[in-house]
Amino acid sequence: MNDKRKLLRAIFDAAVAAAHPAHVLRAHLRPLPRGRVICLAAGKGAAAMAAAAERHYLDDLGLEPQRLIGVATTRHGHGVPTRRIEVIEAGHPVPDEAGLRGAEASLALAHGATAEDLLLVLLSGGGSANWIAPVAGISFAQKQQLTRALLRSGAPIGEVNTVRKHLSRIKGGRLARAGQRAEIVTLAISDVPRDEPSAIASGPTVPDPTTLADARAIVAQYGLAVDDAIRHALDDPANESCKHGDAAFARASFELIARPRQSLDAAIEVARDAGYAIADLGADLEGEARDVAAEHARLALQARAEGKKLAIMSGGELTVTVRGNGHGGPNQEYALALAMHLKDMPGLAALAADTDGADGGAGSATDPAGAIIDDGSFAKIKALGLDPAAYLTNNDATAFFAATGDLLVSGPTLTNVNDIRVILT
């Protein structure tokens, strides 16, 4: 492994560590309530967050075990051992029946919470898919089909969640409505641009600024073919999400414990310590992966022409409009587009990876987190006669980087603050 490749992996690891529940949760946990601690967690960091909460309440504060109950619904492969909080591994990005069970169990515990209980809600990226509770009249299969269509449309995650919130009994403030008798404390790891609370795990415990009309407009904008039942549900005023002033939020608070900016700052520190000047493009980038890559490649070529030792760094969450039948995720597609633009420029190296350890994929713990490219990659491309443009047309970045040996496979990281992208000139 060359020096730049080692440095890129160290940068990625620093970004992940800055948002790991074991490091960031404890300082934000509340004192013991008079009643029970009911922990409801969802997302890729859910099990790790639940385990950290157990250590705090059972070990640090000496809470009687019977007073701690809960359920953590996380992505398949992201579970960790817990003592009192049940862990359910569920589907992501397309929900499965385990997610149904996790959502129903969470709603039931919330409904049973009393005024003396603390309802501790721990959220991380992926919670929107992990908690699946369709509104009346919508089947689980219909919700799955719509999710697949939204993910293939190229819609930003905020728009995807706007639609999902209005077809759910747990999203868009409805979990808070279920548990409103208790004190509700939500602690969240942000995986969304600008850290908007209503977008993290589709905002189950906060007011929702989006509306049914917004959801209908998104379906129309992307030309999504949806069942009549979904159209009827999006026309039904009963499915409007919870707004500011709802009694559900009278005893509810929300706090971010980790965010993309913190992780990007940690990554930048590693690059700066290695002697690189920094081009910080921000932690909230959005857009089509291949288009963003083309712009970043232009910046890299300009830096090289000027003789700069520069680290071009960014976070956020890019999208892919799927037109081919290949496999991959936005980070792999970004790296593939970079390879297409930079393959004739020696000495450059880049990484694009999702901090949760999975970029696209089929929901397996062995899915790649992204890809790394460098001079070795470019040599392989030439030796194997690979055409990056053809793979890009087919949205088949995974096959491309499997051939070059450049997939980054980290395994589940147990957190999620979106993507880390680095180009070293």
322 & 177 share domain: no
Which residues, listed in sequence order, are joined to residue 37 by a DSSP beta bridge?
68, 118
**What's the rounded Cα separation, in Å, for the pair 275 and 263?**
19
DSSP notation for 291-351: HHHHHHHHHHHHHHHTT--EEEEE-B--B----SS----HHHHHHHHHHHHHTT-TT-EEE
Tens of each residue's pLDDT in the chain, 425 residues: 579 999 999 999 999 999 999 999 999 999 999 999 999 999 999 999 999 999 999 999 999 999 999 999 999 999 999 999 999 999 988 899 999 999 999 999 999 999 999 999 999 999 999 999 999 999 999 999 998 899 889 888 889 999 999 999 999 999 999 999 999 999 999 998 889 999 999 999 999 999 999 999 999 999 998 999 999 999 999 999 999 999 999 999 999 999 999 999 999 999 999 999 999 999 999 999 999 999 999 999 999 999 999 999 999 999 999 999 999 999 999 999 999 999 889 999 999 999 999 998 777 888 999 999 999 999 999 999 999 999 999 999 999 999 999 999 999 999 999 999 999 99
**What's the rounded Cα separation, in Å, for the pair 4 and 375?**
10
Q: How many CB atoms lie within 10 A of CB 111?
A: 12
CATH number at residue 317: 3.40.1480.10
- Collapse the DSSP code of 121 into the 3-class scheme (helix H, G, I; strand E, B; otherwise coil) and give the result: strand
- Domain-embedded: residue 148: no
Domain count within the chain: 2
- Collapse the DSSP code of 74 into the 3-class scheme (helix H, G, I; strand E, B; otherwise coil) and give the result: strand
| Polymer length in residues for the chain | 425
**What's the rounded Cα separation, in Å, for the pair 79 and 72?**
9
Of 199, 229, 258, the domain-final residue = 258
254 & 267 share domain: no
Q: CB-based contacts of 16: which residues, under 8 Å, 6+ apart?
A: 263, 355, 410, 413, 415
**What's the rounded Cα separation, in Å, for the pair 109 and 119?**
9
246 & 328 share domain: no
Domain that holds residue 44: 20-133+168-207+242-258
CATH number at residue 29: 3.40.50.10180
42 & 124 share domain: yes
- pLDDT tens-digit map of 201-245: 999 999 999 999 999 999 999 999 899 999 999 999 999 999 999
